[in-house]
Every structure is written in C-alpha cells, then in structure tokens.
Structure 1
Amino acid sequence: MARNQRLTKEEIQEDKFIEGLLKIYAFLKSNLQTIIVAAVVVLVAVAAYAAYYQNQENRRAEATLALRQATEAYKTAEESLFDAEKLAESEALLTTAQTQLKTVFEKYANTTFADKARYQYANTLYYQGNYSEARTQFQQLVAQHQPENQMDSLYAQKAIGNTYEQEGDYENAIAAYQARAFPPTPQLSPQIRKFVLMEAKFNQALAYGKSGDSASARDTYKEIVDEFRSTLETGLTEKSRELIEEAKEVIAAIGEPLDADVSNPKKLEFVLTEPELNQALAHKKSGDSEALRAVYNRIAGEFGHTLEVGLAQNSVEHVESAKVVIAAIAEPFDIDIPKAEKLENEKRYFEAYVAYTDAIRTYKVRKDIHGRLPSDLRKQIGNFEKGAMTVINSIQNARRAENEGRESSALYSYDLVVELQTLGLNRRLYENALFNYKRLESGQ
C-alpha cells in the first residue's frame, strides 16, 4: 500500500511546476500596481524618445535647408565681388547673405550647421572690410566648434591672421600664423593639417616681408622648402617600401630562385652593330650606370616584345633574333638578388626596388628565351614590369630635372608616383616659396 502511494518522478515535477505558477500568481497579485506603473513609465519613455528623435530629425532637416539657402546667397554675393558688372549690387547681396547666415548660427547653435554658417558670415564681414568683427567671429569658431568641423577651425585660425594682415598689424598676423596658434584636430588626417599649416607659414613669410624683416621672411621660406622636400623624401621612401613588397609577391609567385641556371645556353657570337648596343657599351666605358641601365631596359623591352610576337606568329626567325640580342648582352643581365636585399637592409629603398625589378625582368628574359614561362606568370610579371618602369622612370626623370634646375618638371614626375596632395603638399606654394627664398638669398 505504501509502495502504491509513492509519488512518481513525473508527479513530483508537475507539483513543482504548479507550485511555481502559484508563486508567480501571488507575486503579480501583490505587486500588480507597481508593475502597471513600471510598464506605463517604460511606454512613456519609449514614446518620449521617439518624439524627441523625430523632433531632432525634423530640426536637422530644417537646419540643412536653411544652411543650403544661406550658402547659395553667400556664394551669389561672393561671385558678385569678382564680377565687374555686378559689383554695384554686391553690398546688398552680402547683407542678404549675412541675415540668412546669422539666423542659422543663432537658431541652430552648437551644431555643425551653425559652425559653417558662422564661418561664411565671418567671410562676408571680411569682404566688407570689417576686419575686427570678422576676427571676432573667426575666433569664436576656433574656440567653440563641433568635432566634425575641425577643418573649418583651421581655416578660421588662418583667417584671423589674414584680418590682422589687412589691418597692417603684422606682428599679430605673424603670431596668428604660428603652428602653435592652431587648434588641435585629432579627427583630421595629419596630411590635411600639414596642408593648411603650410599655407599659413607661407602667409607668415609674406607678413615678415611686409614688415621689413627680410631675414625672417627668407628663413621662413627656407623652412617651407625644407619641410616640403623632407616630406617628399619620406613619401618616396614609403612608396618604395610598398613597391618592394609587390616585387617580393612576384618573386614568391615565381616559386624558384631567380638566379637558378635555367638553361646553360651556348654563348653566341655576335657583332655589335645595333646602335643601342653600341650606345650601351659607350655608357659602360664612361661609368654612367644610370644611362646604361636605361639603355638595357629598352633593349629588354624590345626583346620581350620581339619574342612575344615570334611566339604568337610561330616565327622561328623572330625568336632567334631575340635570342641573339639577349646573348650579346649576357653580362649586364646577371641576376643579383643579394644586391637588392643589401640595399633594402641599408634602407636605400628606391635603389633596392630598382634592383629587385632588374632581377625579375632578367629572370623573365632568361625564361622566355627557352619558352619555359607559364602564361599566367608571364602576365603577372608583365603587369608588375609595366608599373615598375613607370615608377622608376618617373623618379629618375624627376632627379635628373632637379639636377638641371627644372623644378616644375621634377615635381610633375614626382607627382606621378606619390601624388603630392595626399602627402599634404602644395606644389604651387612650394614653387613660390622656393622662388622667394632664392630671390631674398641672392639679394643679401
């Protein structure tokens, strides 16, 4: 009888479940009012947040439209200042723009819209010759601006120097152009900051000149020139290091030592009748290694083209012609990977890149002679070779132009490789600084 009255496992679990439900019911019954209040509070909070969010979105849309309209009025007024036919109406246009811009930064204070409106408003005052009030507005923007408008804060600080300069207060202008006067800009790239501060330094040099301090003006121009060249060299170094990694990727794809004996070809007798080969021999005797490399690069290019044409046309004549050319210049095409690695370890990155490129091209030439280069690898090497020669020729042309005093040509070639603006460099400003530095230096 006792055995029959023993509860099963399922019955025990069911009793626990019922007991739990009863406890929950008792809790809800005793705390019903509190739960209802909490639920209402949550609902009200969600509704309030939704209303706030919607209100902010509406306000943002209104501010966007207001700033757009004010900016259009500002641009119209600005254009009229440089149009002789509209010059008479420029004052009225400026006043209209000022009214709209002021409304924006007063109504939507502490927003990105307010910062941009204030900057443009300050510019209109500057155009009117009201330098003191313009400066006040620029200073307020520098002191208080949204993180998204750090670019505007830099230009506002530069504009402060402009206002002093227009008033003939060169001492304060020079101080305003100092790098330490500019606000921190952690959200901007260093290159953008460098670009603006370099412009300010140029203005500082001009202010020194206007104040009669030619020595300080010369020294400031020299700082601009030196900083430009230092930044350019750093950019070229970084670019060369990137390109070296690309070269190593090609070498890894080759999958065998580049200086492996791929054929042990029989030496061919060859009379140097080709003009370019005679030219190469002359450069070699004179010790002009750069010119020698350029000639051999052209010969290698012609060889590759001739060989590819021969293979495509199944022309033995073309292929044999290419073999004769390359055999005649076997010595300059020795592969020298250790040299490239040594130059890289010495941090002579551009020279190392040239050496790696020469090694890869030589490997391709040797393989092509015997038709042992897979088509996909030939394509990869060809693409690398094309890009490498553009870089190498551009830098060599730039350095040659520098040695000959052709600065504009040198900068053009450098720009093809590193894109000067991405380094925070201003080519026009550099050329003007260099011109003024040389002018003041020669006038001593």
Structure 2
Amino acid sequence: MNLIQINAGDTAWVMVSAALVLLMTPALALFYAGMVRSKGVLNMMMMSVLSMGIIAVLWVLYGYSMTFGDSWHGLLGNPFQFAGMRGMAEATVGPEGHQIPAFAFAGFQAAFAIIAVALISGAVADRMKFSAWVAFSVLWATLCYFPAAHWVFAFDGFAAEHGGWIANDVKAFDFAGGTAIHINAGAAALVLAVALGPRIGFRTTPMRPHNLTLVMLGAGLLWFGWFGFNGGSALAANGLAAMVWVNTLVAAGAAMLGWLATERLRDGHATSLGAASGIVAGLVGITPGCSVVTPLGALAIGAITGVCCAWAIGLKYRFGIDDSLDVVGVHLVGGLVGTLAAGLFAKGSLAGGAAGLFYGGGLEQLGRQAVGAVAVLLYSLVVSYLLARLVDATVGLRIDRRAEAAGIDLAEHAESGYDLSRVQYSSYSKSLVVPRPEKSPKEEVEA
C-alpha cells in the first residue's frame, strides 16, 4: 500500500467511526431485549448478534463488491470485482489529500450492512423461527440491502468507476442511510410482521417491556454510536464531520422532547420508553440530511420526526399489525420523514446549490427525495414479501403455539435469559445455600 497517499487523520476517524457503528448492533440488542418479555430476551439479542456474523462473512465474499463494484445500469455492482476483497490491498478511497485505505471504507460500510439487517428483528419478536431468521437474513442482505445500498451510496468515480442510479442520476440526499437502511429495513419489518401474524394475546394480553433499564442503556449507546454512523460518513476529520456531529446531537434531543410532549398531551404522562424511542426516532430522521442542514434545521427535523413517530406507533393497533417493537413506526416512518425533510430544510451553501423548499429551492429537490424514498420502499416491500414466502415454504416462518406460549428462548435456544432457581445467600456462612425442596402436603402427613 502506498502510505504517502493515505491521510492518517481521516483514516483514524473512519476506523474509529466504524467501531462506533459496529457497537450500535450490540446496543440495538440491548434496546430490543429490554422491550420484550423475559421469556424472549435471549432470542431477541441473538438475532442482532447473529447478523454480525452472517453479514461479516457475506460482505467479504461478495457483499462489498455488489454494493461498490462497477455498476450494471446503475442497479447492481459487479459481484466478482472485489469478491473476497481481492484487489483492495493497494486501493484507496477519497479525493486527493483525503484518501483512506479501501479496507477502512469497506469495514465502515460493513457495519452499516450489519445493523440494517438487525433492525428488522424487532418486528418479529417472540414468534419467528431462528432457522427462518438465518435464512431470511442471508437472502435479504443479498437481494435487498446490497442492491439498495448500491443505488444510494455508490457514487461514480468513488470506490468504483460507475455507481448507483439514485446517487448519480436522481441525486437525492442520503448522507448516511435514511433510505438504504431505515426505509429498507422498516419495509421488510412490515412485511414480516404481516406474514407472521400477531403474537398470541396481541391486543388482549399486556406485553410490557420486561427491563426498561436495558432499553435506556441501549438507547444511550445507540446515540453514542450514531456519531460514528453520521459523522464517519464524511470520511474525513473535517468541518463537515463536526457539523454533522452537532446536527446528530440536536436532532435526537429535539425528537425526544417532541415524543415526550406528544405522550404527555395524548396519554397524560411521559415515559422512559418514550424518551428512548424518541432518541432513536430523531437519529433516524436526521440521518439522510445531516450534511445539508443547519443545526436549526436539524432541530426542526428532529422535533417533527419525534412527533410523527410517536403518533405512528399507535397505528399498528388500528390495523391489527403486530410490529412488536415499533420498527415500522420508528424506522420506516422516521426514515420517510427524514428523507423528505431534507428536501425542505437543505441549505444551498451546504448542499452544492441544491437548496430545499424552505431555502428557495422550490420543489425540485423534494421531488428527488420522494423518488429515492419511494423507490427503495417499493423495492423492499416486493422483495421482502417474496423472500418471506420462500422461507415460509421451506423452513417455515413461525414457531408453534405451545413453544410461543412457553417462551421462544427455551424453544429455540434451550436457554433462559434469567436464572430464577431458588438459590439463597447465607450472610453467616458467606456461601451459597440451596434450599431443600418443599414437601408436598401428602409427604408432610407421612412424615
């Protein structure tokens, strides 16, 4: 590798950002795990953790090449160009003076692909076969995420000579994945929730989060990791990354306040679950346009997204769709709102002259944003539906009713998230004491 071409500061920032984005998947596992009942906590975490293993392997084998290889008509990268990461040891990415190793860029984008798959799992809590999740993850990443990411992230002359149609022809703003990740995953979540059907007891049995402290911890770590998610997408340690950092901060804060205000007015109280969900909604909303709006624009986008997502999560009860952990209400709705909002709040001096409606740019950029959002939405809905039907016809999507009632952790993993055996601690002996089993009434009489 020609080290003279490498910008050490930019490379360090991208690699640290990649680690932050990778941390977001375990953070998502905590966030989701706290929201389910205790009998499903391990399965919920396993689906996120599994995506790290599956996508890491697929990404090296052909995923990066499908996403950033030379494009076929703007629709798909050449899956053989960088297969097995060949030809990348000497390659760099970025403009002159700000070049980073292609491996650093590939690692950063791998973490994006991982969390895109993991996001979907929140819609299928407590009822999807683990084998079905494995099969769906492999197929969805290959046929849905890699192509959509190519459309949005592959710019001409960047990682390869020719890139995707949304990035280069439509020219929609999507700095860090509002369409390719959040709309894409949210649409898949909607399809799976419908295909699986609701959990046993949906709308009749309380299904409260079993551990809100895990939810809050997960939300905090997601917020922390999102600074790498958005800021790292500048691919340089520069003023753009710094502005994006501030926009990410203020949008999440404004969305949290907007969500809590909506809860207070609608339900009479503000909840910790609402605060955590509002943070995530704001992060989703600012992701597409964080590089083209001012901090005041980011504040507005965050507040709007928080209110819209807080309202949207109630629709699942109206339509009878068990989106278990509100993936559709937060990621699909938040991604749509944020993508369209970039066409409203983009400032021309930050966006290469392509101003949004509120900055005198008219409807042109808003139309571009709508084309990008709708294209990814429709593609994901159709492909995810076909994949769900295929998986259901082969391994089956849903566990049986008895296993679901007993708990998916035991049924699918032969484990329990919490050891609730009757073990006590003796302060006198400083040792564990296992109580003798209680005698039955019949045994007491015989004794």
TM-score scaled to structure 2, two decimals?
0.20
Indicate the structure with greater helix content.
1
